[in-house]
Structure 1
């Protein structure tokens, strides 16, 4: 009977070692932070571009738009550039809308109010493929010319999102350690 336990535990250990332990938590980004989806002030027309540059979006994440007396439209690139709301891919006008980022690439959003869009209430989100939590960090590179060398301090939302990802990673690591410990204890004579 002991040999059956040894074989079974060995199979579990081999399976755990061969299976990538990768947990990726999706993040909900609140567009515009605490200010939400709004018409930027005249001297802050780059508000949404700057907000998007401070965040890293991956497949599986979601954008949450919160607004009043407005709408948000997902559009093609040309419609984004021209603030053309006549042919949206999707349109939301309920005050709180969630858009799931289901593929890599660029997503384009504009206000349904043409004047708001022309004043800067539009957003481009560049979505990357998700990376495993246990992969090596990306190589360090210099920032593109024209950008500040350091990002601004993280917002409360970014800290909240980091905490969520860290707790998911901690749970995955804890489960791996627990399974390994139980397996070793069962293998002990």
Structure 2
């Protein structure tokens, strides 16, 4: 019985270690921009509609956005083009009917606007932040690391490194499994 329990514990340890340290395969997601509303000019008093939609989602490299629209287009623009609804120099233009899928292939900010200047000025524009799996476990230094003056006053023994968190969790699991293994 103890041998069977030990074999099961070893299997469980290997499975948990692999699950913690390996990103999910096929875990990429396709987001429908605007959910059921799609890509359209927001109604009155809803100019922040796409900002609110983006804030409720987390976008990773490998994910994609699906824009569904009618009698419109989607332009991928730079930051200036986004804030000024400027369509004169888009990075990419999509007007293939009513269904555009854009792959999120690199981390960073992406800016989208409607191809209709009035729609853009009325809130039909979207900015998203695309992250890597590494970005999730290691927030940007401006968020994760307090200012130097704060560190000088009260140094913290804790690390914000995702790698050390993963190692700590793996170590804790191995201690528990070892204890269970050695238990009579």
**TM-score scaled by length of structure 1:** 0.59
Is there any run of 5+ residues in structure 1 with no aligned partner, and where?
Answer: 1-13, 136-140, 142-189
Partner of 2:125: 122
Cα distance in 2, alignment partners of residues 18 and 101 from structure 1: 26
| Secondary structure in 1 matching 2:45 | helix
**1:31-70 mapped onto 2 (5 Å cutoff):** 31-70=33-72
Q: Pick from 104, 108, 124 the counterpart of residue 107 of structure 2.
A: 104
* Structure 2 portions without partners, runs of 5+: 1-13, 138-142, 144-184
Residue number in structure 2 paired with 1:85: 87
**How far apart are the structure 2 equivalents of 1:70 and 1:46?**
19
Residues paired across the two proteins, number: 121
Provide the alpha-carbon RMSD of the alignment.
2.7
Q: How far apart, in 2, do the equivalents of 1:18 and 1:58 lie?
A: 21
Higher RCO structure (Cα 8 Å, ≥6 apart) = 1
Alignment deviations for residues 129-165 of structure 1 (CA, whole Å, 9 cap, x no partner)? 1259xx8xxxxx9xxxxxxxxxxxxxxxxxxxxxxxx
Structure 1 residue 42: Cα displacement? 1.7
CA distance in 2, matches of 1:124, 1:108: 5
1:22 matched residue in structure 2:
23
| Separation in 1, partners of 2:68, 2:22 | 35
2: CA distance, partners of 1:46 / 1:84: 18
Change in 2 beyond 3 A, CA 1:114/1:23: same
Q: How far apart in 2 are the matches of 1:80 and 1:43?
A: 20
SS at match of 1:43: coil
What TM-score comes out, normalization by structure 2 length?
A: 0.60
Provide the rounded CA distance (Å) in 1 between the counterparts of 2:59 and 2:18.
Answer: 29
